[in-house]
Amino acid sequence: MKNKMSRNALLQKVLFVLLVVLFFMFALWAQQPPAKAPAPEYKIPPEAAAKVNPVKPTSESLAKGKKLYGFDCAMCHGANGDGKGDMASDMKNVTDFTKPDALKSRTDGELFYVIRNGKGEMPPEGDRAKDDDIWNMVNYIRSLAKK
Ligand code: HEC
Protein backbone atom coordinates (compact mmCIF):
# COMPACT_ATOMS: atom_id res chain seq x y z
CA MET A 1 0.00 0.00 0.00
CA LYS A 2 2.72 2.48 1.03
CA ASN A 3 4.66 1.55 -2.06
CA LYS A 4 1.67 2.33 -4.31
CA MET A 5 1.21 5.78 -2.75
CA SER A 6 4.76 6.86 -3.46
CA ARG A 7 4.49 5.58 -7.00
CA ASN A 8 1.46 7.80 -7.52
CA ALA A 9 3.36 10.74 -6.10
CA LEU A 10 6.22 10.05 -8.49
CA LEU A 11 3.82 9.85 -11.41
CA GLN A 12 2.32 13.19 -10.41
CA LYS A 13 5.75 14.80 -10.30
CA VAL A 14 6.64 13.49 -13.73
CA LEU A 15 3.37 14.72 -15.15
CA PHE A 16 3.92 18.12 -13.58
CA VAL A 17 7.40 18.43 -15.06
CA LEU A 18 6.09 17.37 -18.45
CA LEU A 19 3.41 20.02 -18.30
CA VAL A 20 5.93 22.70 -17.41
CA VAL A 21 8.17 21.66 -20.31
CA LEU A 22 5.21 21.67 -22.69
CA PHE A 23 4.20 25.09 -21.45
CA PHE A 24 7.65 26.53 -22.15
CA MET A 25 7.77 24.92 -25.56
CA PHE A 26 4.43 26.49 -26.34
CA ALA A 27 5.61 29.86 -25.05
CA LEU A 28 8.70 29.68 -27.29
CA TRP A 29 6.62 28.66 -30.27
CA ALA A 30 4.14 31.48 -29.66
CA GLN A 31 7.01 33.96 -29.67
CA GLN A 32 8.08 33.21 -33.23
CA PRO A 33 7.47 36.29 -35.33
CA PRO A 34 4.44 35.82 -37.55
CA ALA A 35 5.12 35.02 -41.17
CA LYS A 36 5.81 38.31 -42.93
CA ALA A 37 2.82 39.69 -44.74
CA PRO A 38 3.73 40.98 -48.20
CA ALA A 39 4.27 44.74 -48.26
CA PRO A 40 1.06 46.42 -49.28
CA GLU A 41 1.15 47.66 -52.84
CA TYR A 42 1.60 51.42 -53.23
CA LYS A 43 -1.70 52.73 -54.46
CA ILE A 44 -2.49 56.20 -55.73
CA PRO A 45 -6.20 56.97 -55.54
CA PRO A 46 -7.62 57.36 -59.08
CA GLU A 47 -9.05 60.79 -58.30
CA ALA A 48 -5.57 61.96 -57.20
CA ALA A 49 -3.98 60.55 -60.35
CA ALA A 50 -6.58 62.29 -62.50
CA LYS A 51 -5.96 65.73 -60.97
CA VAL A 52 -5.06 68.22 -63.67
CA ASN A 53 -1.94 70.35 -63.16
CA PRO A 54 -3.29 73.91 -62.87
CA VAL A 55 0.19 75.45 -63.16
CA LYS A 56 1.65 75.92 -66.65
CA PRO A 57 5.36 75.07 -66.98
CA THR A 58 6.38 78.69 -67.57
CA SER A 59 9.95 79.77 -66.91
CA GLU A 60 8.69 81.34 -63.69
CA SER A 61 7.15 78.06 -62.52
CA LEU A 62 10.31 76.12 -63.43
CA ALA A 63 12.50 78.62 -61.57
CA LYS A 64 10.37 78.31 -58.43
CA GLY A 65 10.29 74.55 -58.75
CA LYS A 66 14.05 74.43 -59.16
CA LYS A 67 14.62 76.46 -56.01
CA LEU A 68 12.44 74.22 -53.83
CA TYR A 69 13.86 71.12 -55.48
CA GLY A 70 17.33 72.32 -54.43
CA PHE A 71 16.21 72.52 -50.80
CA ASP A 72 14.02 69.45 -50.45
CA CYS A 73 14.86 66.93 -53.15
CA ALA A 74 18.41 67.35 -54.49
CA MET A 75 20.00 65.56 -51.50
CA CYS A 76 18.46 62.35 -52.79
CA HIS A 77 17.55 62.90 -56.43
CA GLY A 78 20.78 64.79 -57.23
CA ALA A 79 21.34 68.45 -58.14
CA ASN A 80 20.74 67.60 -61.81
CA GLY A 81 18.06 64.98 -61.14
CA ASP A 82 20.15 61.88 -61.87
CA GLY A 83 19.18 60.18 -58.60
CA LYS A 84 22.69 60.39 -57.14
CA GLY A 85 22.31 62.90 -54.32
CA ASP A 86 24.44 62.66 -51.15
CA MET A 87 21.73 60.81 -49.26
CA ALA A 88 21.07 58.39 -52.08
CA SER A 89 24.28 56.38 -51.66
CA ASP A 90 22.69 53.91 -49.24
CA MET A 91 19.29 54.00 -50.89
CA LYS A 92 18.21 51.84 -53.76
CA ASN A 93 16.02 52.97 -56.63
CA VAL A 94 16.03 56.75 -56.11
CA THR A 95 14.24 57.79 -59.27
CA ASP A 96 16.54 59.24 -61.96
CA PHE A 97 14.58 62.12 -63.52
CA THR A 98 17.04 62.52 -66.38
CA LYS A 99 16.01 59.15 -67.84
CA PRO A 100 13.63 60.01 -70.66
CA ASP A 101 11.00 57.50 -69.61
CA ALA A 102 11.39 57.64 -65.79
CA LEU A 103 8.19 59.64 -65.36
CA LYS A 104 6.62 58.98 -68.74
CA SER A 105 3.88 56.66 -67.51
CA ARG A 106 3.03 58.93 -64.59
CA THR A 107 0.38 61.63 -64.67
CA ASP A 108 1.11 65.01 -63.09
CA GLY A 109 -1.52 64.11 -60.50
CA GLU A 110 0.40 60.97 -59.57
CA LEU A 111 3.66 62.91 -59.17
CA PHE A 112 1.83 65.47 -57.04
CA TYR A 113 0.51 62.66 -54.85
CA VAL A 114 3.94 61.02 -54.43
CA ILE A 115 5.60 64.33 -53.54
CA ARG A 116 2.88 65.27 -51.06
CA ASN A 117 2.61 61.85 -49.42
CA GLY A 118 6.03 60.26 -49.92
CA LYS A 119 6.70 56.78 -51.22
CA GLY A 120 8.86 53.97 -49.88
CA GLU A 121 12.03 55.59 -48.53
CA MET A 122 11.02 58.98 -49.83
CA PRO A 123 9.63 61.19 -47.05
CA PRO A 124 6.41 63.11 -47.64
CA GLU A 125 6.57 66.83 -48.37
CA GLY A 126 3.45 67.01 -46.22
CA ASP A 127 2.28 70.50 -45.30
CA ARG A 128 5.69 72.08 -45.88
CA ALA A 129 4.76 73.09 -49.39
CA LYS A 130 1.69 74.80 -50.82
CA ASP A 131 -0.14 73.07 -53.68
CA ASP A 132 1.34 75.44 -56.24
CA ASP A 133 4.85 74.80 -54.93
CA ILE A 134 4.36 71.09 -55.52
CA TRP A 135 2.99 71.69 -59.02
CA ASN A 136 6.05 73.87 -59.71
CA MET A 137 8.27 70.96 -58.66
CA VAL A 138 6.26 68.56 -60.84
CA ASN A 139 6.91 70.90 -63.78
CA TYR A 140 10.57 71.19 -62.88
CA ILE A 141 11.32 67.48 -62.53
CA ARG A 142 9.54 66.83 -65.84
CA SER A 143 11.83 69.37 -67.47
CA LEU A 144 14.90 67.35 -66.37
CA ALA A 145 14.21 64.41 -68.69
CA LYS A 146 16.82 64.18 -71.43
CA LYS A 147 15.21 64.35 -74.82
C1 HEC B 1 15.28 60.87 -48.63
C2 HEC B 1 15.45 60.80 -50.05
C3 HEC B 1 14.42 61.46 -50.95
C4 HEC B 1 14.01 62.79 -50.91
C5 HEC B 1 14.43 63.88 -49.95
C6 HEC B 1 13.10 62.92 -52.01
N7 HEC B 1 12.94 61.74 -52.67
FE8 HEC B 1 11.76 61.39 -54.29
N9 HEC B 1 12.22 59.46 -54.24
C10 HEC B 1 13.09 58.85 -53.36
C11 HEC B 1 13.06 57.43 -53.55
C12 HEC B 1 13.85 56.39 -52.77
C13 HEC B 1 12.13 57.19 -54.60
C14 HEC B 1 11.67 55.85 -55.15
C15 HEC B 1 10.47 55.45 -54.34
C16 HEC B 1 9.86 54.13 -54.71
O17 HEC B 1 9.50 53.96 -55.89
O18 HEC B 1 9.75 53.30 -53.82
C19 HEC B 1 11.64 58.47 -55.01
C20 HEC B 1 10.73 58.66 -56.04
C21 HEC B 1 10.28 59.88 -56.48
C22 HEC B 1 9.40 60.08 -57.61
C23 HEC B 1 8.90 59.00 -58.55
C24 HEC B 1 7.68 58.32 -58.01
C25 HEC B 1 7.15 57.27 -58.95
O26 HEC B 1 6.39 56.48 -58.45
O27 HEC B 1 7.45 57.27 -60.13
C28 HEC B 1 9.18 61.42 -57.70
C29 HEC B 1 8.29 62.12 -58.71
C30 HEC B 1 9.92 62.05 -56.64
N31 HEC B 1 10.59 61.10 -55.92
C32 HEC B 1 9.96 63.42 -56.42
C33 HEC B 1 10.60 64.01 -55.35
C34 HEC B 1 10.55 65.42 -55.07
C35 HEC B 1 9.87 66.48 -55.94
C36 HEC B 1 11.24 65.62 -53.90
C37 HEC B 1 11.42 66.91 -53.14
C38 HEC B 1 10.22 67.55 -52.70
C39 HEC B 1 11.74 64.31 -53.48
N40 HEC B 1 11.32 63.38 -54.37
C41 HEC B 1 12.49 64.12 -52.33
C42 HEC B 1 13.86 59.49 -52.40
C43 HEC B 1 13.74 60.82 -52.04
Residue 1 domain-assigned (yes or no)? no
Which residue minimizes the CA distance to atom 14 of ligand 1?
94
Residue ranges making up the domain that contains 80 = 47-143
Residue 42 domain-assigned (yes or no)? no
- How far, in Å, CA of 46 to CA of 107, rounded? 11
Span from the CA of 49 to the centroid of ligand 1 (angstroms): 16
The set of protein residues with a Cβ atom below 6 angstroms from ligand 1 is 72-73, 75-77, 87, 91, 93-95, 106, 111, 114-115, 119-123, 125, 137, 141
Are 94 and 85 contacting, i.e. CB atoms less than 8 angstroms apart?
yes
pLDDT given at position 142: 97
Averaged pLDDT in 10-residue chunks for the chain of 147 residues: 74 89 86 74 95 98 98 97 92 93 96 97 94 98 93
Residue 64 domain-assigned (yes or no)? yes
pLDDT given at position 90: 85
pLDDT given at position 68: 97
Residue 101 domain-assigned (yes or no)? yes
CATH number at residue 59: 1.10.760.10
Environment class of residue 103 by beta-carbon count within 10 Å: exposed (0-12), middle (13-18) or buried (19+)? buried
Residue 12 domain-assigned (yes or no)? no
Are 85 and 79 contacting, i.e. CB atoms less than 8 angstroms apart?
yes
- How far, in Å, CA of 93 to CA of 97, rounded? 12
- Express each pLDDT in 124-147 by its tens digit: 999 999 999 999 999 999 999 987
Q: How far is CA 9 from the centre of its chain?
A: 60
Residue 14 domain-assigned (yes or no)? no
Which residue minimizes the CA distance to atom 1 of ligand 1?
122
Count of domains observed in the chain: 1
pLDDT given at position 36: 73
Model-level pTM? 0.79
Burial code (b: 16+ CB inside 10 Å, e: under 16) for 51-85 equals: bebebebeeebbebbbebbeebbbebbbeebbbeb
Residue 17 domain-assigned (yes or no)? no
Span from the CA of 118 to the centroid of ligand 1 (angstroms): 7
Residue 102 domain-assigned (yes or no)? yes
